[in-house]
Structure 1
Amino acid sequence: MERSLFENRVHGDALFPLSVYRVEVTGDHLFPCHWHDELELNLVQEGNALFQIDAGGFEAAAGQAVFINSRELHAAYPAAHAPCALHALVFHPSLLAGVGYDDLQNRYIAPVLRKDYALPSLILGEADWEKELLGHLNAIITLEAAQPFTYELLIKARLYQIVALLIANSGRAAARKNFGAQQEQLARIKTILQYIQTHYSERIRIKDLAAMEHVSEAHFCRFFKQMVRKTPVDYINYYRIQKAAQLLEDDSKKITDVGMDVGFENFSYFIQTFKHYMKLTPSEYRKRRRESLSGNEPEAPPSL
């Protein structure tokens, strides 16, 4: 259930800001379009997943991993609507920092966060360095689940090895074509997404969103779908349904009020749209949630 396109929740805790989540298909996605300050590594466990990172996209198969840098816009969807699951390792860059700003920070960590390096996003597991990285990632997932004595030290050591492998097998960002133009496009789409996030409970018209970009509705719709992989209407409805699912956690709240609170003026359309995305009616969703049992792993946040 999505809480924010720009996610500022703490993964882990302030002293050890790292968490591992098992993520499975919810509706038509693994996790929706969002961004955050943390770095992220996704290890596909089952099926194939389609990843969007900034303006690019690719498919990752079971056993392969995907690296997402800080503040990169990203989303993941199951390929061909087939079953799919992954483990997501999310950690704050401060976990890699020393007590002071040292040579390690200056030469490696800061350039990574500035995107001076074109770090590899898709880890196929074919080259020796990729196999080594996947070994470290699997070890971190196991350590975080079991949490033996000194697991924090062992995880941090593995993280440094992963970052070193990514840097050693990267290119220079300056070599990427149209890098500046892509960043400008990303800034524009983030502004639009933030507007939707803030005003989802109000009437949102496509012509008003297009006016924010000073383009025609047709041009805006093409740009939005290119960047987000959904039409504006589809995304607005999707975001509203995620918010509705959160409100349904309060059993005292009437379902009609939930629909109105997230911007649906027609109750029948709300029920229809909710079922389209969640595969359940609101009342069925509320009942299913009551009956659901918690597992050992933390529930994956709506956006990672």
Structure 2
Amino acid sequence: MAVQPINNNKPPMLGDDYPFNFFQPECDGKVLFHPHWHERHMEIIMMAEGQAEFHIGGRSYDAVPGDIYFMPEGQIHGGYLKKTIPSYYTILFDRSALAGTSSNIRSYEPLLGGELALPDRIRPDDPHYHALAETIRTTIGEFIHQKQGYEMAVRSLLHVLLIRLARAYAAEDGILRDSQADRRHAEQLKHVMMHVDNHYMDKISVQEAAKLANMSVHHFCRTFKKTAGRTFTEFLNSYRINKAAELIVQTDLQITRIAEQVGFGTINYFDEMFKKFTGQSPTQFRKNKGKRQ
């Protein structure tokens, strides 16, 4: 089970000439993907089967098959399990790099890399849905079957997709939907999440996190839950359990030692949290080699 970094600024691409990649979900207990963001990469998710709970830019969505979600560069987004593990496709790509692969960057860059006032979600009743969905499905099909030249085909299809997005959702006069306050709060929370990424093994109180965000405790708790979809304590525990699960599967360290390394003060609390998030005790999880029940 791979641990998903909170701030994935350099996600794995197929290569320098192909600045895009595709993913299918790996569920970490009740978490599909921890709240995170991509500074340079845009992300698109298309639901195929099942249900999920997505939080994008402080807004909550019950995701169902057919939904298409957009996460532009820098936007915090997280996903959680509803009942069973859903099936969906994620396209992650670097718009500026795609523009740079075009023969005439001055002509293509405004379309491929310009500001977009994207909705978080579109559904079949949206006037732009069917054209976008067709392009996304064709792109995914090229990647799944990987016939000769699929990388070039995917790159070309992403160009088409971005042009259609630009025509439908180009930001008027560079004005985006999110308010300055929303963007400021997002940057403050990113600072806290990066601190968790670097110091999850240490004691981190809600008060300390609020101070890092330059907010009152009350405002921080409310803003964090709205953005991440979970309280700060739930987020921190989930992140620690994710790290612990990796150590349990990939090392022979004693469970008590792992609990200490990921920041849990007592083995009893660690056992309780581990079972809450994974459905198994740490010992069972190691015996099952990380397979979820």
Where 2:101 maps in the other structure, the secondary structure is coil
> What is the TM-score of this pair, normalised by structure 1?
0.85
Q: 1:97 aligns with which of 90, 95, 100?
A: 100
Aligned mates of 1:177, 1:71 — CA distance in 2? 14
Shift, 1:99, TM fit: 6.0
Q: Give deviations 1:166-193, integer Å, cap 9, x for gaps.
A: 1111152655566211110111110111
**Residues of 2 paired with 1:289 and 1:100: CA distance?**
49
Aligned to 1:132: 131
Deviations 1:239-297 (A, max 9, x none): 111111121232322211111100012011111111111111222222223779xxxxx
In 2: Cα distance, 1:169 partner to 1:285 partner: 47
Q: 1:101 to 1:279 in 2, by over 3 A?
A: farther
Q: Which residue of 2 aligns with 1:280?
A: 280
Distance in 2, Cα, partners of 1:235 & 1:28: 11
| Mapped contact 2:112–2:166 kept (Cα < 8 A) | no
Match of 1:271 in 2: 271
Contact 1:119 1:167 in 2 (8 A): no
- Of 105, 108, 116, which aligns to 2:111? 108
Aligned pair 1:6/2:7, yes or no? yes
Change (3 A) 1:2 1:133: same
Which residue pairs with 2:248 in the alignment?
248
8 Å contact kept, 1:55–1:227: yes
DSSP 3-state at the match of 1:117: coil
The within-5 A match list for 1:42-191 is 42-79=45-82, 81-93=83-95, 94-98=97-101, 102-111=105-114, 116-127=115-126, 129-172=128-171, 175-176=175-176, 179-191=179-191
Taking the aligned partners of 1:89 and 1:195, their CA distance within structure 2 comes to 27
Residue matched to 1:40 = 43
Q: Structure 2: any 5+ residue segments left out of the alignment?
A: none
Question: In 2, distance between residues paired with 1:252 and 1:82?
Answer: 30
Query: What is residue 301 of structure 1 aligned with on the other side?
Result: none
Contact 2:112 2:159 in 1 (8 A): no
Distance in 1 between the 2:155 and 2:166 partners?
17
Check whether the contact 1:12–1:19 (CA below 8 A) recurs between aligned residues: yes
Query: Structure 1 residue 18: deviation in Å?
Result: 2.4
CA–CA separation in structure 2 for the residues paired with 1:59 and 1:221 = 22
Q: Deviations over 1:113-142 (max 9, x none)?
A: xxx320233231334531121112111222
Q: 5+ residue gaps in structure 1?
A: 293-304
Q: 2:227 aligned with 1:224, yes or no?
A: no
Instruction: Please give the alpha-carbon distance, in whole angstroms, between the structure 1 residues aligned to 2:226 and 2:256.
Output: 34
Separation in structure 2 between the aligned mates of residue 121 and residue 208 of structure 1, nearest angstrom: 31
SS of the residue aligned with 2:288? helix
Q: Which segment drifts farther, 163-172 or 179-188?
A: 163-172
1:18 to 1, 17, 20: 20
Report if aligned partners of 1:120, 1:169 keep a CA contact under 8 Å in 2.
Answer: no
**AA matched with 2:145:** A
Distance 1:62 1:91 in 2: 22
Number of corresponding residues = 287
Tell me: higher relative CO, structure 1 or 2? Use CA pairs within 8 A at least 6 residues apart: 1
CA contact (8 A) 1:25 1:84 kept: no
Give the share of equivalent positions with the same residue, in percent. 23
Structure 2 equivalent of residue 27 of structure 1: 29
The range that moved more, 126-135 or 94-103, is: 94-103
Task: State whether residues 49 and 78 of structure 1, in contact with CA within 8 Å, keep that contact through their aligned partners in structure 2.
Answer: yes
SS of the aligned residue for 1:90 comes to strand
- 1:17/1:286 Cα in 2 relative to 1: closer, same or farther (>3 Å)? farther
Instruction: Provide the secondary structure at the position in 2 that maps to 1:58.
Output: strand
1:107/1:145 CA distance change after superposition, 3 Å? same
SS at match of 1:249: helix
Sort the Cα spacing of 1:18 and 1:289 in 2 relative to 1 into closer, same or farther, 3 A: farther
TM-score (norm 2): 0.88
> Offset of 1:52 from its aligned partner?
1.7
CA distance in structure 2 between the partners assigned to 1:169 and 1:217 by the alignment:
40
